[in-house]
Amino acid sequence: MVTVNIYGKPITHAAALSKSAFGRNTFTFSNTEEFIEDEVNINEIYEVVIDCETSGKGFRTAPISVYINKVLKKFLPHNLSLKFYIKECNVPRPYNIWWKVRNVGAEAERRNHIRGEILKTNQPERVETTRFFGPHYVECYIIKNGVCVAIDHIDVPIGHS
């Protein structure tokens, strides 16, 4: 749980911004973000590498790094499909696969869709779409014997190209 003091008043699992304080409309969002260290102990003794295939109408399928670094130069546009997957993992089986998809920024807060829950899917892939602007990210956790032994992270910047 996250508690924030706003004007001396504690607010838990939500944030309220006032127009007078920040020069914008008032809105509230639920803080749904979870943290791996609150779920299990962390001992990164192995390595996992995740990647992401990006595809959409008018775009060829390519790794996210190609679009961000070479094609679009900075941001991904709306309405692309993103397939995150484990590219490499040196953790001996068996293990569990958990994912975290976190939306960041004013638009995520305005839509009350910051997400950030840890998804215990045991699936080596995760499909998402680029719905709205913001510096979002995806993380993958490999859990073995109740301990997080490997973590990887991909930034997903969505905005104007």
Task: Give the count of domains, the chain.
Answer: 2
CA dist 80 and 158 (Å) reads: 10
Residue 59 is predicted with a pLDDT of 73
Q: Specify the CATH number for the domain of residue 67.
A: 2.60.40
Residues 46 and 27 in one domain: no
Residues 12 and 50 in one domain: no
**Strands annotated E in the chain:** 3-6, 9-12, 14-17, 27-30, 41-42, 48-56, 59-63, 81-89, 96-102, 115-119, 125-129, 134-144, 147-158
How much is the pTM? Answer: 0.76
Residues 103 and 72 in one domain: yes
User: Percent of the chain scored above 90 by pLDDT?
Assistant: 43
For the stretch 61-84, pLDDT in tens is: 877 777 666 655 676 777 788 999
CA dist 21 and 90 (Å) reads: 49
Residues 27 and 56 in one domain: no
